[in-house]
Structure 1
Amino acid sequence: MRQIEQQHYDVIVIGGGQAGLAISYLLKQDNINHVVLERNQIANSWVNQRWDSFKLNTPNWMNLLPGMTLSENDDKEAFKTNAQYIDTLVRYVHENDLPVVEHCEVTAVHHHNDLFDLTVIYQGTFKKLSANQVVVASGKMSDFENPLFANPLASNIKQINVGEYKNPSQVSGNVLIVGSGQSGVQIAEELAQSMYPNKDKIYLATSEVARSPRRYRGKDMMEWLTIIGAMDQRTDELEDINMSLQTQPQVSGVGQYGHTVSLQSLHELGVIHVGKLLTTRKDSFEFNDKLKQYIVYADKSSEKLKALVDGYLTKTGELSLYPNVDIDKADHNDPSFICASDLTTLDFDQVDTVIWAIGYKAKFNYLHIPGVLNEKGQPIQTNGISVQKGLYYLGFPWMIKRKSGIIFGVAEDAQTIKDEMRVK
């Protein structure tokens, strides 16, 4: 394990996930004196915030960090398991001798006299470090807080946040999953296909989340979006900035080449859909009545993606070269709302386990630098560059482009940030 070897560095990187490792590789290539500080362990979010059966949601060719290449034995269309990707990141650190210090938590960052002063907890004690420049690469989903509602849940209801969920053996009886993003729908699918203790009803509290077909016209949808240039759409060119706030679409990497997950496919497995969880009452959960709107939104989002591909192929004259031969039952629309229930309340005694697939965000309260955070405590930045000279961000959704928030965009963004640096 690496140790802190000095008090001052040209660059200090906060976070030892894929973003922090990518910028570290590039800094090392330029012989820039730096260190990566990770509060837990290398690839911590992959180790501690993923379940046992999780697979990456992007195919192998999209998951390369700087200096990485696919080997002859790698199927570029396949999806790594979580364990495989953790091993990939750990080997990346060791093979490139990256200066990652684990179990070193940054508790405060100040700036004065053109230097950043950092306070860290390392080996059980507080330690002071300084740097000319700092890169925050700790991610936007690094911390979890259980949502607070009007009334506490009944004490007999087991609560699990999605980062603590590992496998179906943790749940029992009637299960309510709150959140229909990628994690929520994938866990709902796993529970529906398993036999967990006292298995009964599975409820999914939904919201406005897009879905994507996994494959279309012979290619993974992510490959099409890359080919047509959608993944390179720049944040500063968005006509509607709210687009950058959208949840990642429902889809799964489980299976050799992944598969489509939809509210329809989950309904076929027996999952009962309800609207968005609004609050809790003395003895019940209360949901809104917008479930049908959410179904329409998901269906239309899938159709828009396919129309985008069709429009591109029509323009290039290649439509006939890519026939739509994939039969994807999970991608069928639901104009009759067969998968919509009319439930707007569930009594506490109808639920044995709640899985919170919402509530993840990042805390940046360790940045004690005036003006760098907005009123919500989130970084003020443009293309990863802070309003504070010498402070940078990396690995955040839509930081520079659409692809910035996934592994696919990390290498390019890391190069952009490294090029912006003025190492003293």
Structure 2
Amino acid sequence: MRAPLPTHHNVVVVGGGQAGLSASYHLRRHGIDHVVFEKNRIAHTWRSQRWDAFCLVTPNWQCLLPDFPYTGPEPRGFMPRDEIVAYVEAFARSIDAPIREGVAVTRIARGEEGFLVETSEGGVTADAVILAVSAYHVPNIPAMTANVPEGIVQIHSSAYKNPAQLPPGKVLVVGSGQSGCQIAEDLHLADRPVHLVVGSAPRCPRFYRGRDAVEWLDDLGQYEITVEEHPLGEKVRRNANHYLTGRGGGRDIDLRRFASEGMVLHGRLTGIENGRLEFGDDLARNLDAADAVYNGICGLIDRHIADKGISAPEGVHYSPVWQPGAAVHSLDLAAAGIASIVWSTGFRSDWSWVDLPFLDETGYPAHRRGVTNEDGLYVVGMPWLWTWGSGRFLSVGRDAGFVVDHLADRQITGRRRPPVRMAV
């Protein structure tokens, strides 16, 4: 039986993944009393919302949690799901995080002196709150799922585990971001016939000119570009991630090659009616755009090699191995033999439990580098919180350090800071 919940903490951290644990590390470094609430278990998302063959798409050497870098035998490898969970759990043990697993935070509001935090084990007060729950809270299920005929199995990508989970027959994967492409590949490698709905996500080379492209991009400083320096500004936070994989030691994901091997590709899904799928006329355009990003990255690396006089093997830019024929605008689910659909349509945010006016007009936390416009409220662990590496093991610890340093300075000065000016 664990100790009862104290009634007050200097800081409440919500979320027991790598972001919340990194915040805990830095709070301990400052000697600040705190608690970490995790409604499930440490590393819950890695544990429960990833498929069996899942592995990192970034190399292990980028796993740089505070004072806890990857030290295994394969720094250029890609940890599979269970090793990722073990890495996060080991980090929690190493810092002796004051985590309360199985405690859900149900409401956060202002109190007389700080914050009121309601949980499944009772209420506490806090001087400051760090929200370390990313921005991916609820599976995004399109309304058109209601029009899918009965008898066809439908699951969200977060619930997909392996090909054997789905009934015999063809599988439709909707969405070609990282998860959709990797799940389509997982099914394809298991000789399951796949239809894939292709969106606008870009792709990236895995290896180019003798090295992992991530290593080249790191040398180029791409992971250090801040939101304020990026040409898109805060809009970059809405960009889809590039698709590639760390599976089997790492490789490209080439949807055209999959198509040449029998996978059926479609343009964007625009509707479902009377058992028929309706597609947009954008398949060729989406494939071309993804390849253009791929070759653009190759070109960026080429220029870096030339400018620095680096000795490296010659590189070859991608040339399409397959071209789509006449666009298919409609497909009958029954006639096509599609027995299941995997909706790889991402997630949406749900901040309804935070009873504070900290969101912008789009429903995204208004913040600068994790410091929100609500004094004492912080966010960490979100994609592009500050840099491209913010949502990854690479930079989440540094982001947490900045947030906690700001918080510690606020407590030391004994005064409330004015809201941080938001970037335009």
In 2, Cα distance between equivalents of 1:63 and 1:4 = 35
Deviation at 1:158, TM superposition (A): 0.3
Match for residue 323 of structure 1 among 308, 313, 323: 313
Once the two structures are superposed, the pairs formed by residues 56-135 of structure 1 within 5 Å of their partners are 56-71=56-71, 73-122=72-121, 127-135=122-130
Contact 2:260 2:322 in 1 (8 A): no
Q: What is aligned with 1:414?
A: 400
**What fraction of aligned residue pairs are identical, expressed as a percent?**
30
Aligned counterpart, 2:243: 250
1:257-300 CA distances to partner (integer Å, 9 max, x unpaired)? x1110212322332111011112112211111101110111110
Residue in structure 1 matched with residue 164 of structure 2 by the alignment: 169
Query: Residue 422 of structure 2 aligns with which residue?
Result: none
3-state DSSP class of the match of 2:143? coil
Contact 2:157 2:179 in 1 (8 A): yes
> Does the C-alpha gap of structure 1 residues 193 and 140 become closer, same or farther in structure 2, counting only changes over 3 Å?
same
Structure 2 partner of 1:179: 175
The CA deviation at 1:306 is 1.1
Matched, 1:284 2:276: yes
Q: CA deviation at 1:7?
A: 1.3
Maintained 8 Å contact 2:64/2:395: no
C-alpha distance in structure 1 between counterparts of 2:221 and 2:372, whole Å: 27
Structure 1 SS opposite 2:293:
helix
The SS at the match of 2:247 is coil
| Counterpart-to-counterpart distance in 1, 2:394 and 2:318 | 28
Q: Is the 8 A contact 1:140 1:396 kept in 2?
A: yes
C-alpha separation in 2, matches of 1:192 and 1:8: 53
Contact map agreement 1:13 1:36 (CA 8 A) in 2: yes
Post-superposition shift, 1:188?
0.7
Q: Distance in 2 between matches of 1:3 and 1:332?
A: 59
Contact 2:147 2:275 in 1 (8 A): no
Question: Does structure 2 retain, via aligned residues, the 8 Å contact 1:274–1:340?
Answer: no
**C-alpha contact (below 8 Å) 2:227/2:236 kept by paired residues:** no
Deviation string for 1:65-123 (max 9, x for gaps)? 0011343x52210111100110111121123211111111111110133401011113x
Which position in structure 2 is the counterpart of 1:355? 342
**Alpha-carbon distance, 1:354 to partner:** 0.3
Counterpart amino acid of residue 100 in structure 1: I
Give the distance between the partners of 1:184 and 1:341, measured in 2 at CA.
24
Question: Shift of the alpha carbon at 1:333?
Answer: 2.9
- Aligned pair 1:143/2:143, yes or no? no
Displacement of 1:25 = 1.0
**Greater mean alpha carbon deviation, residues 207-216 or residues 139-148:** 139-148
What is the aligned-residue RMSD (CA, Å)?
Answer: 1.9
Q: 1:3 to 1:145 in 2, by over 3 A?
A: farther
- Specify the alignment match of 2:417 in structure 1: none
What's the counterpart of residue 372 of structure 1? 358
- Give the Cα–Cα distance (whole angstroms) in 2 for the partners of residues 359 and 76 of structure 1: 29
Quote the residue 2:301 is aligned against.
309
Residue 319 (structure 2) pairs with residue 333 (structure 1): yes
Distance 1:399 1:50 in 2: 23
Q: When the two structures are superposed, what TM-score results if normalisation uses the length of structure 2?
A: 0.91
1:193 Cα deviation from its structure 2 partner: 1.1
Task: Write out per-residue CA displacement over residues 231-250 of structure 1, whole angstroms, 9 at most, x where no aligned residue.
Answer: 11110122223333111101
Moved more, 347-356 or 371-380: 371-380
What is the distance in 2 between the residues matched to 1:140 and 1:392? 13
Unaligned 5+ segments in structure 2 are 415-424
Alignment coverage as a number of residue pairs = 406
SS in 1 for 2:294: helix
Q: What SS does the corresponding residue of 1:255 show, helix, strand or coil?
A: helix
What whole-Å deviation, never above 9, does each CA across 1:172-224 have from its counterpart, x for those lacking one? 301100010011111111111114xxx4x311101111100001112211111
2:197 aligns with 205
Deviations 1:354-392, CA, capped at 9 Å, x for gaps: 0011141221111101x2113443211121111101111
1:43 CA displacement:
0.3
Match of 1:344 in 2: 329
Indicate how the Cα distance of structure 1 residues 340 and 191 shifts in structure 2: closer, same or farther if over 3 A, else same.
farther
Given that residues 210 and 298 in structure 1 are in contact (C-alpha distance below 8 angstroms), is that contact kept between their aligned partners in structure 2? Answer: yes
- What are the equivalent positions in structure 2 for 1:190-229 lying under 5 Å apart? 190-195=186-191, 199=192, 201-229=193-221
Moved more, 374-383 or 246-255: 374-383
Task: Say if 2:229 is the partner of 1:237.
Answer: yes
Does structure 2 retain, via aligned residues, the 8 Å contact 1:264–1:332?
no
Question: Offset at 1:2?
Answer: 6.4
In 1, are the aligned partners of 2:269 and 2:278 still within 8 Å (CA)?
A: yes
Which letter does structure 2 place at the counterpart of 1:46? W
TM-score by length of 1: 0.91
Amino acid at match of 1:83: D
User: How far 1:225 moved relative to its partner?
Assistant: 1.1
Take 1:418 and 1:22, find their aligned partners in 2: how far apart are those partners? Answer: 10
